[in-house]
Amino acid sequence: MKTLITAADLMARVLDAAPPLLFDCGFDLADTDAGERNWRAGHLPGAQYLHLDRDLAGTRHDATGRFLGRHPLPERAALAVRLGQLGVTPRSAVVCYDAQGGPYASRAWWLLRWMGHDDVAVLDGGPAAWREAGGALTTEVPALLAAAPYPQQPAAMAVIEAGALQTRLGRTPLIDARAGERFRGEVEPLDRAAGHIPGARNRFFKDNLAPDGRFKSPAALRAEWLPLLASHPACEVVQQCGSGVTACHNLLALAHAELGDSQLYPGSWSEWSADPARAQAAG
């Protein structure tokens, strides 16, 4: 499992002698307890809950007090410990899901790949697809099968920080995963200023989905993404959004389309716009 798994395939996999570890990553930026409440109200059998703020992000300020964005990457050592507490080992198969179209599950997918874990996928269509395929939900809280901290190894996914991105503006394709009205600066419900990083192009993460809430086919994604890459290989492209979360949905779409892995700007617009000295654009 590298990118997506269908509900039917997951149903077959959960009958394996070593079934996948399941993680419910549902979240609501406006109500940060909603995801966990929904998990307790009903989740895929065996699924543990991963909270965006507690498990999939780190502290918002560094030791000097500098703001790193609303959802900076967790410290690798802390994430290794947390993965071990959840029973993740290098031999584990992992499936992540959410009910919001995949952005939070994609963040978990990206973080696991960043840690060097290969056998991880997002449930295409989330719990709705599971139910449509005949799967049941449960309120039973599964027991933790704790393991040692996940083995430390070099980061397997590329990131770029604000200073390095500043020097490459205008020379590196930059894709913003936010909704169009936020990208254009017409509204800004979350961050300090409205607008976008100069030179960025907009690819709303939900454009990766078909009307049924599942990802578009690899061929369709390739056709839509290749013009955005502007003849650059994916590895030269920077993906960002509001806080480094929905950009992971675009990264998953690229990987599913077999176009390769881009760089993630984890701080994204939330970090960039917090410094009035950085150039900003609108429209």
CATH code for the domain in which residue 216 is found: 3.40.250.10
Same domain, 168 and 127: no
Question: What mean pLDDT is reported for the chain?
Answer: 96
Whether residue 13 sits in one domain with residue 113: yes
Residues 118 and 238 in one domain: no
> What are the tens digits of pLDDT across the range 131-187?
999 999 999 999 988 899 999 999 999 999 999 999 999 999 999 999 999 999 999
Q: Which of 25, 96, 241, 248 is catalytic?
A: 241
Is the model's pLDDT at 65 over the cut of 90?
Answer: yes
**Residue 18 belongs to a domain:** yes
| Residue 41 domain-assigned (yes or no) | yes
Instruction: State whether 195 and 116 are in the same domain.
Output: no
For 239, other C-beta atoms within 10 Å of its C-beta total 29
* Domain match, 90 and 196 both: no
Determine phi and psi for 263, rounding to 5 degrees: -90, 145
Q: Domain end: 132, 148, 181, which one? A: 132
- Both 121 and 19 in one domain: the answer is yes
Region 77-89 average pLDDT: 97
Residue 101 and residue 57 in one domain:
yes
* pLDDT at 239 (0 to 100): 98
User: Over the chain, what HEC string results?
Assistant: CCCEECHHHHHHHCCCCCCCEEEECCCCCCCCCHHHHHHHHCECCCCEECCCCCCCCCCCECCCCCECCCCCCCCHHHHHHHHHHCCCCCCCCEEEECCCCCHHHHHHHHHHHHCCCCCEEEECCHHHHHHHCCCCCECCCCCCCCCCCCCCCCCCCCECCHHHHHHHCCCCCEEECCCHHHHCCCCCCCCCCCCECCCCEECCHHHHECCCCCECCHHHHHHHHHHHHCCCCHHHCEEECCCCCCHHHHHHHHHHCCCCCCEECCCHHHHHCCCCCCCCECC
State the pLDDT at residue 145: 86
pLDDT digits (tens, 9 = 90+) for 28-40: 999 999 999 999 9
Domain count, the chain: 2
pLDDT in tens, 228-281: 998 899 999 999 999 999 999 999 999 999 999 999 999 999 999 999 999 999
Q: How confident is the model at residue 112 (pLDDT cuts 50, 70, 90)?
A: very high
The confidence score (pLDDT) of residue 226 equals: 96
Alpha carbons 236 and 222: distance in angstroms, whole number:
17
How long, in residues, is the chain? 283
Domain end, chosen from 115, 132, 149, is at: 132
What's the pLDDT score for residue 24? 98
pTM, two decimal places: 0.97
**10 domain-assigned:** yes
- Residue 68: domain span: 4-132
Active-site residue flag, 241: yes
pLDDT at 92 over 90: yes
Q: How far is the C-alpha of 130 from the C-alpha of 137, rounded, in Å?
A: 9
Instruction: Give me the phi and psi of 24, to 5 degrees please.
Output: -85, 120
Q: Tell whether 107 and 168 lie within a shared domain.
A: no
pLDDT at 198: 97
pLDDT at site 61: 96
* pLDDT per residue as tens digits for the range 147-163: 999 999 999 999 999 99
86 band by pLDDT with thresholds 50, 70 and 90? very high
The pLDDT of residue 17 is above 90:
no
Residue 146 lies in a domain: no
> In sequence order, what are the residues at sequence separation of 6 or more whose Cβ sits closer than 8 angstroms to the Cβ of residue 274?
67, 69, 191, 192
Do 167 and 263 sit in the same domain of this protein?
yes
Identify whether 278 is part of a domain: no
